[in-house]
Amino acid sequence: MNKFFFLPALLLCTCIFAQNKTTVKTGAEITDAYFPLLKDKRVAVMTNQTGMAGNEHLVDMLIRYKFNVVGIFSPEHGFRGTADAGEHVASSTDEKTGTPIWSLYGSGGGKPSAEKIKQFDVLLFDLQDVGLRFYTYYASMARMMDACAEHGKKMIVLDRPNPNGMYVDGPILDMKHKSGVGWLPIPVVHGMTLGELALMINGEKWLPEDRVCDLTVVPCENYTHQTRYELPIAPSPNLPNIHSIYLYPSTCLFEGTVMSLGRGTPQPFEVYGHPKYKGSDFSFIPQAVPGAKNPPLLNQKCYGVDLRNLPDEEIIASGFDLTYIIDAYNNLNMGEKFFTPFFEKLTGVDYIRRDIIAGKSAKEIKDKWFCDVVKFKLQRKPYLLYKE
C-alpha cells in the first residue's frame, strides 16, 4: 500500500526540484516576442557586452537573421564595457559586424541627436542593470525613452533580472540633487527590473513635458523578485562578481568621501580604506588598471576593512547599510573634510551627511526613510511584471 503513496510523493518532489532549477530566460532570448516588430524596420540597438541572447550577442544574432541594424548606441563603459566610470567614450565602428557605434556617454547630455534618431525606426534596448539609483543605465534608458517619444519612434526593452531585486531600501531622491547618478524620484535600491522601471517612467509621466514613449517590454521568463540571479557577464569593470554587486548599494557611498573603495585593486566595492585609517592590519594599494586608470588614492597604501568574507545573506538582510561609512567617518576623525559634494548626489538627500556628523546611528538614520520605502512600494506596484 505504501508504494502507491510513495510514487506520487516522489513525482511531486521531482517536479518541485525541476521548477527550482528552471533557468531564467532573458527578454533577448524570447525572440518570438520582438522579431515580428523588427521586420522591414531600420533597427538601432542600445546594448553593451552584457547583451547576450544565450551564447550569442544580440547584435550578432540580429545580423545573422538579416535584420537591418543601422547603429549601436553605447552607454557608460562603452559597447565592450571596458571604459572607466564617467570616462568619455568616443563613437566608432564595431570591428566584428562593421556596424556604427554611437556613444551616448560623456557628451551631448546622454540623448542622441535628431540626426541619429532619423536613421532608425525602432530602438531595441538591452542592458544588464544592478538595481541601484546611482547606476547609470536606467538614466540612459529614460533619456532614450524621451528621445523616442519626442521623435515618434518605437522602443522595445528586452528585460533582464535585477540581481538586487529582492528588496527596496534607502531614501527617495530629493530632485534638487538630480544628476547623472540620480535621475528619478526613486529609492537607492528600487528593486525593479529596467522593464518595470520603463513602464513606471511612462505611467508616472516622468519624461519631460509629460511625454509618453511608444514602449514594448519583453519580460523575462522563470523569474521572480526573489530569484537569486548571478550575472553571467560583469556589467561594468568594477563590479566583477555577485558579492561586489550585493555590497555596491552601501560601499558606493565611499565615492563621495576621501576614502578608497578598492577601485584599482582586484576587489572593488568589497573593501574600503585610507592611508590614515587606524587600528587595522588589512591594507591594499590602488593602482592604475583597465577600468580604473586613475583611482582615488592611487599608489598609496590604504589601511581599512576587508568585506570579502561577509556572507551574501547578511549583506542582503542589512540592505542599504550606513555602518561602513559611519565606521570610516569616526575612524578618520576629520569632520566635514571626510565628505565631498558628490556625497549628496549618491544619497539623494541632505540629512544623511548631517546625521552622521551629529553622531546618529545607522539604524536611527535608516528609520527616517522607512516611509519612503513604504510609499515607493505602493507606487511601483501597478508596474511590476514579476511576483514579489
Distances (CA, A) of 77 to 98, 100, 167: 20, 17, 27
Least confident of 32-41, 270-279, 287-296: 287-296
Is position 196 within any domain?
Answer: yes
For residue 229, pLDDT beyond 90:
yes
Range(s) of the domain holding residue 304:
242-357
Residue at 86 is within a domain: yes
> Are 112 and 185 in the same domain?
yes
- H helices of 75-136, where? 114-117
Least reliable range by pLDDT among 6-20, 259-273, 297-311, 373-387:
6-20
Give the residue, 113 or 288, on which the prediction is more confident: 288
- The Cα 307–Cα 285 span in angstroms is 16
The answer to whether residue 110 sits within a structural domain is yes
Q: Is the pTM of this model over 0.95?
A: no
Cell readout for 267 is 576587489
Given the DSSP bridges, would you call strands 122-126 and 42-47 parallel, antiparallel or unpaired? parallel
Per-residue pLDDT tens over the stretch 163-186: 999 999 999 999 999 999 999 999
The full length of the chain comes to 388
Cα separation of 267 and 264, whole Å?
Answer: 8
Q: Decide if 301 is inside a domain.
A: yes
Joined grid coordinates for residue 65:
537573421
Mean pLDDT of 133-160: 96
Same-domain status, 59 and 135:
yes
Q: Any residues with CB less than 8 A from the CB of 345 and at least 6 apart, and which? A: 134, 177, 179, 181, 182, 256
Report whether pLDDT(14) > 70.
no
Q: What is the mean pLDDT of residues 227-234?
A: 94
Domain boundary among 208, 230, 252: 230
For residues 195 and 252, membership in a common domain is answered with no
The answer to the question of residue 363 being in a domain is: no
Do residues 175 and 37 both lie within one domain? yes
Domain count, the chain: 2
Mean pLDDT, residues 362-367 taken together: 98
Tell me if 386 is assigned to some domain.
Answer: no
Residue 84 has pLDDT above 60, yes or no: no
Residue 2's pLDDT is 43
104-145 pLDDT, tens digit each: 754 455 788 889 999 999 999 999 999 999 999 999 999 999
| 162 & 310 share domain | no
Predicted pLDDT at 97: 84
3-state secondary structure at position 52: strand
51 with 125, same domain?
Answer: yes
156 and 208, same structural domain?
yes
CATH number at residue 126: 3.40.50.12170
Pick from 230, 193, 177, 314: nearest CA to 185: 177
146 vs 210: CA distance, rounded Å: 10
> Are 78 and 185 in the same domain?
yes
Strands 271-274 and 302-306 turn out to be: antiparallel
Do 135 and 171 have their domain in common?
Answer: yes
